[in-house]
Structure 1
Amino acid sequence: MNIREIEALNLPVSNLQASLRFYHEVFDLPILELADDVKAARLAKQLLIFSPQEVVNPIEFSVVAKDSVAALESHLANYGVDIKQPAHTVKVMGRDATAIVVADLDDNLITINTYAQKG
């Protein structure tokens, strides 16, 4: 077997329209309509598929942002995003990153990592 990448993640959401608005406005993700009226957000080559359901077990995932930490903090504050862990230093695959952990409307946790620019 030769697996190359993750194609899609299923994100449990209790209110589809509110979640679509949150991910589009807060993370500036394009929203797509797939077959059978399924909604998804595109993150590079991966899809984040919105799965309407009662959210019993929220998930956790991480994303990479190109913005400065100050810009991220300001943007999150402007949207009133629930910050679970403020900016802190972490190691990700041997690299130093600054991480901010936020929760979406269903308490799914998103770690936003940003890396120092090279050069």
Structure 2
Amino acid sequence: MKMRRIDHVVLTVSDLDRSRRFYHEVFDMPVLDDQSTADCLTLRCGHQLIRLQTTDREALQAKQPTIGSADLCLVVGDAIDDVLHHLKSYYVNVVAGPVEKYGAEGKLTSIYLRDPDENLIELAFYDNK
């Protein structure tokens, strides 16, 4: 079996509207209305999707969907200083970083923040990308 990539991830959130505003406005992720329902919202993140769901979603989901338990890394295409300024303009606190790390494509610099449900979001900046 040959895995090619991750297609989408699902985050369980307490308030779809609040999370939609955060991911759409702060991260500029387009909302895909044709794939969204009353208990699930789909956003485009590069070539992948992020789905936001509530705990009472009536669909196949994790055995114990838990709000605030995600830890994910998003690769950013902008300069880190521009992103830091952007986050500040939305009153989003950076909880750690910048720190140097290694990711799937090599050396990177990361900053960390939390979304409205306290999920840990790592924003990664590749040095040569």
Alignment TM class, shorter chain as reference: 0.7 to 0.9
CA root-mean-square deviation: 2.0
**Kindly tell me: are residues 103 and 57 of structure 1, through their superposed partners in 2, closer, same or farther at Cα, counting changes over 3 Å?**
closer
Q: Quick one: distance in 2 between partners of 1:101 and 1:7?
A: 23
CA contact (8 A) 1:82 1:104 kept: no
Q: Quick one: distance in 1 between partners of 2:42 and 2:108?
A: 27
Alignment of 1:43-54 (within 5 A): 43-53=45-55
Q: Which amino acid aligns with 1:102?
A: L
- 1:93 is displaced (CA, Å) by 3.7
What TM-score does the superposition give when structure 2 sets the normalisation length? 0.81
Q: Which amino acid aligns with 2:7?
A: E
Three-state SS of the structure 1 residue aligned to 2:85 is helix
Three-state SS of the structure 2 residue aligned to 1:31 is coil
Number of residue pairs matched by the alignment: 118
- 1:72 is displaced (CA, Å) by 1.1
CA contact (8 A) 2:73 2:124 kept: yes
Structure 2 residue aligned with 1:73:
84
**Kindly tell me: are residues 100 and 11 of structure 1, through their superposed partners in 2, closer, same or farther at Cα, counting changes over 3 Å?**
same
Runs of 4+ in 1 over 2 A off after TM superposition: 35-38, 53-57
Structure 1 residue aligned with 2:30:
30
Q: Quick one: distance in 2 between partners of 1:7 and 1:93?
A: 16
Alignment of 1:69-108 (within 5 A): 69-93=80-104, 95-108=106-119
Q: Quick one: distance in 1 between partners of 2:104 and 2:30?
A: 28
Three-state SS of the structure 1 residue aligned to 2:52 is strand
Deviations 1:85-119 (A, max 9, x none): 1311112247221100110000111110012246x
Gaps of 5+ in 1: none
- Which shifted more, 42-51 or 103-112? 42-51
- Which shifted more, 73-82 or 47-56? 47-56
